[in-house]
Copies of this chain bind each other. A is one copy, B any other.
Amino acid sequence: MANSTSATATTEADTPPAKPIGFPPGFRGAAVYSGVKEDKTKLDLSLIVSDRPVVAVGVYTQNLVQAAPVLLDRQRTPTTQARGVVINSGVANACTGAAGLADAKQMTALAAEATGAGPEEFLVLSTGVIGHPLPMQKIAAGVSAAAQKMAAGPEALEAVARGMMTTDTVTKIRSRTIRLGDREISLVGVAKGAAMIGPNMATMLAVVMTDAVLEASDAQAALSEAVVESFNCISVDGHTSTNDTVLLLANGAADGPPLADRDLAAFRATLVEVCEDLAVAIPADGEGATHLITVEVHGARSRDDAVRIGKTIADSPLVKTAIAGADPNWGRIVSAAGYAGVPFDPDRVTLLINGLLVYDKGAPVPFDEATVSDSIANQRDTLLLLILDEGSASARFWTTDLTAEYVRLNADYRT
């Protein structure tokens, strides 16, 4: 990312983490099995709490059909007086009407009561099947149990990330620390995303916690920018869920004045990195998928143009099946770019697959098909690099390949 340059000098990347990480200072969490999921070996209720009020901001699904927790969190953010987030998996509390909204409110009230916060100081996230009511007795018991177990270490963080999961196969935790003068700031994010398999549960949820001191307006601007550069640049089904939510919680435990100027810029750049790491982890965890595809578009007239072309290529089933079959099928990629709705001169387009030139300034070039095919077959990552030669803007977009296993997983599911 161009934006990350300013921060890398003072940033330690830990993806994958060199050692297990815990919550940022002032945050704690816990997760339990409450009985919403059928499988008793799983966790399905997570609690995140700050020991002091947090600035909380959110970015929410653009789907017109919005789940109850989204409607509630939208009302409550931005705020400077939040204390935590309660999260359940298994039931999405979506398409549940007024009763669902009452349940979402009740869920936050239960979490607040169990942790000594005010009744409206909690936010709520839900993910799972649509159209089913939350089993509130189970939720209530789960919240009480989780509140007894709050901790700040790596195990508690791992549990919180696990309690958000639906069809994820791995937890998604990413972090950065950033030194600003004599202060060290932590950013720790957890996310869930069902990637290729999303039987009513393709929801993407993420919570980024930081001990930075932030004005609410700066926090909102930083998160909105970061989401555009990260979560908005992944696509699995092309399907925007009813529950998609990204929250940023800043509790100010690092003390000092609110971040401003260069410090704020460094924080924002680092937040983009954390969000990008979390976002890429979602398509990377496609159970039915065999490849994580990165589409890089360079030489566009604007970033919007580049994103649009990247998304069109990433959403093409013909491109996705070609990668699944290790087929260096440049025709499908170039032609997908051509119908993205972005004007460009086809005679100046160049395409590289995994660094190997296959299409040069509007014309196919001779290449060793076996070499390119092997480069796709022999690694999980595939890089499609498209150069438009129209301008200087660029973007990256991530998706998975499309496999028969994906179809089986999604077709065999029953409502």
User: Chain A interface (Cβ within 8 Å of chain B)?
Assistant: 62-66, 94-95, 97, 129-131, 198-200, 202, 237-242, 315-318, 321-322, 324-325, 327-332, 334-339, 343-344, 346, 349, 359, 362-364, 369, 373, 402-408, 410-415
Chain B contacts for A199, CB-based, 8 A:
318, 329
**What is the bound-complex CA distance between A330 and B414, given in angstroms?**
11
12 more CB-based (< 8 A) A-B contacts, given A199-B318, A240-B335, A331-B415? A62-B339, A64-B343, A65-B346, A95-B331, A131-B364, A200-B332, A237-B316, A239-B318, A322-B410, A327-B413, A369-B414, A406-B407
Chain B contacts for A343, CB-based, 8 A:
64
Chain B contacts for A324, CB-based, 8 A:
407, 411
Task: Given the known inter-chain contacts A63-B338, A95-B334, A95-B363, please indicate yes or no for A202 contacting B240, CB distance below 8 A.
Answer: no
Task: Given the known inter-chain contacts A64-B346, A65-B346, please indicate yes or no for A335 contacting B411, CB distance below 8 A.
Answer: no
Nearest-CB distance from A129 to chain B (Å)? 8
**What is the bound-complex CA distance between A414 and B326, given in angstroms?**
8
Chain B contacts for A200, CB-based, 8 A:
329, 331-332
Nearest-CB distance from A242 to chain B (Å)? 5
Nearest-CB distance from A300 to chain B (Å)? 13
**What is the bound-complex CA distance between A373 and B414, given in angstroms?**
9
Task: Given the known inter-chain contacts A200-B331, A239-B336, A363-B97, please indicate yes or no for A404 contacting B408, CB distance below 8 A.
Answer: yes
Chain B contacts for A239, CB-based, 8 A:
316-318, 332, 335-336, 339
Chain B contacts for A63, CB-based, 8 A:
335, 338-339
Chain B contacts for A336, CB-based, 8 A:
239
B407 touches A338 (CB 8 A): no
Chain B contacts for A325, CB-based, 8 A:
410-414
**What is the bound-complex CA distance between A59 and B295, given in angstroms?**
31
Q: For the complex formed by this chain, how many copies does it contain in all?
A: 2
**What is the bound-complex CA distance between A336 and B332, given in angstroms?**
25
Give me the 6 closest cross-chain CB pairs, A-B, nearest first. A325-B411, A130-B331, A65-B338, A321-B410, A404-B404, A240-B339
Q: Choose among B198, B202, B327, B411 the residue that contacts A327 (Cβ–Cβ < 8 A).
A: B411
Chain B contacts for A198, CB-based, 8 A:
318
Chain B contacts for A408, CB-based, 8 A:
404
Q: Choose among B64, B242, B317, B335 the residue that contacts A65 (Cβ–Cβ < 8 A).
A: B335
A64, closest chain B residue (CB):
B338
Q: Choose among B202, B316, B329 the residue that contacts A415 (Cβ–Cβ < 8 A).
A: B329
**What is the bound-complex CA distance between A65 and B332, given in angstroms?**
11
Chain B contacts for A403, CB-based, 8 A:
407, 411
Chain B contacts for A402, CB-based, 8 A:
317, 407, 411
Interface centre among A62, A129, A240, A412 (most CB of B within 10 A): A240
**What is the bound-complex CA distance between A362 and B410, given in angstroms?**
24
Nearest-CB distance from A197 to chain B (Å)? 10
Nearest-CB distance from A116 to chain B (Å)? 36
Nearest-CB distance from A312 to chain B (Å)? 9
B404 touches A335 (CB 8 A): no
**What is the bound-complex CA distance between A403 and B321, given in angstroms?**
12
**What is the bound-complex CA distance between A406 and B411, given in angstroms?**
13
Nearest-CB distance from A262 to chain B (Å)? 38
